[in-house]
Amino acid sequence: MAVRHQSDTAWLLLTFTLPAKRASQRVEVWRKLQRYGTVPLGNSGYLLPSGSSNEERFQWLAAAIRKHSGEASVVRVESIDNLAPAQLRARFSEARDREYQDLVRQIQKVSVLLPSGKAEGRLGRLRVRFQEIVEVDFFGSPMQGRVRELLERANLPRKTKPTLLGAKVNPKDYQGRLWVTRPRPGVDRCVSAWLIRRFIDPKAKFTFAPEEKAPPAAVPFDMFHGEGFSHHGDDCTFETLMKAFRVGDRQVAVMGEIVHDADLFDEKFGRKEGFGIDEVLKGWALQDASDAGLLERGMQLAEGLYQSLAKR
């Protein structure tokens, strides 16, 4: 979710020129400006609210423009004499409103196909598009809530399987336990281990073993076969644990969406953050980090993600 700016918002202005023969580069720059959520300031350039991520984006874009024989400047602007801060913020909100309204029309069209089960891919892409707009919704358009509600109501047909959720799980039975999972943990196992220690079993210890060699007394999670907490129905292991132990934390629910998309690749929630965590874990694995080392680092990443979501 994008950062909300106050009434004393400062602005970043990107001004640039490109040679006439650089038509394709001009289109490329324009597409990036659209993706960054900029609004034009007449013929003067393009605006974004001041902030480290926005400044980095403008600086990289300016460098690319200069590489194509153009000229570019990134200027910090404290105020614009003929436009009050409220008017500028309104321009950003109006731009997001138009994008949200277009998304609403597309969701309504897709909803007609939901009973047939033919819209899953299209709805997944709309979720991705929604997250892209949210990232540049700097001042919180009221339309954001409406679109989120429409997406949440768009329940796709699911094939269900028996899950642990049908049985009552007593959290007291899972205190101070040894938990076992497969070697070389990825995003689902690392974030699930974080969930276990943070919300389920604060004194949990973890070990790694192939399916056939798991310690009998250990609690299995994210194992391909046998009993335990793993993928059930459409849920990844993190979601299974979250539901089985009734973890109602709001940030945890968002993390469940992030892990689901990164682990199952079905674009169900339109979340991309987990892919970065998984790629980092893969990089550490290539550095010959131990299984325990990978899990610990992954849990630290999960805690960082949780704290970031809590700030929003």
- Amino acid identity of residue 105, one-letter, is R
The pLDDT of 231-243, averaged and rounded, is 90
Residue 232: strand pairing partners: 235
Instruction: Please check whether residues 300 and 239 belong to one and the same domain.
Output: yes
Domain encompassing residue 142:
85-153
267-306 confidence digits (pLDDT tens):
789 888 888 888 898 889 888 889 999 999 999 999 999 9
Alpha-carbon distance of 271 to 26, in angstroms, equals 30
Number of structural domains in the chain: 3
Rounded to whole angstroms, what are the CA distances from 125 to 195, 211, 281? 28, 35, 26
At which of 30, 52, 77 does a domain end? Answer: 77
Q: How far is CA 286 from the centre of its chain?
A: 25
The pLDDT of 245-252, averaged and rounded, is 94
Is pLDDT larger for residue 197 or for residue 128?
197
At which of 21, 48, 77 does a domain end? Answer: 77
CB 50 within 8 A of CB 12: yes
Instruction: Please check whether residues 284 and 207 belong to one and the same domain.
Output: yes
Instruction: Please check whether residues 262 and 144 belong to one and the same domain.
Output: no
Nearest to 61 by CA among 50, 71, 76: 71
44-53 confidence digits (pLDDT tens):
899 999 999 8
Instruction: Please check whether residues 136 and 171 belong to one and the same domain.
Output: no
Q: Tell whether pTM > 0.95.
A: no
Q: How far is CA 217 from the centre of its chain?
A: 36
Which pLDDT belongs to residue 149? 78
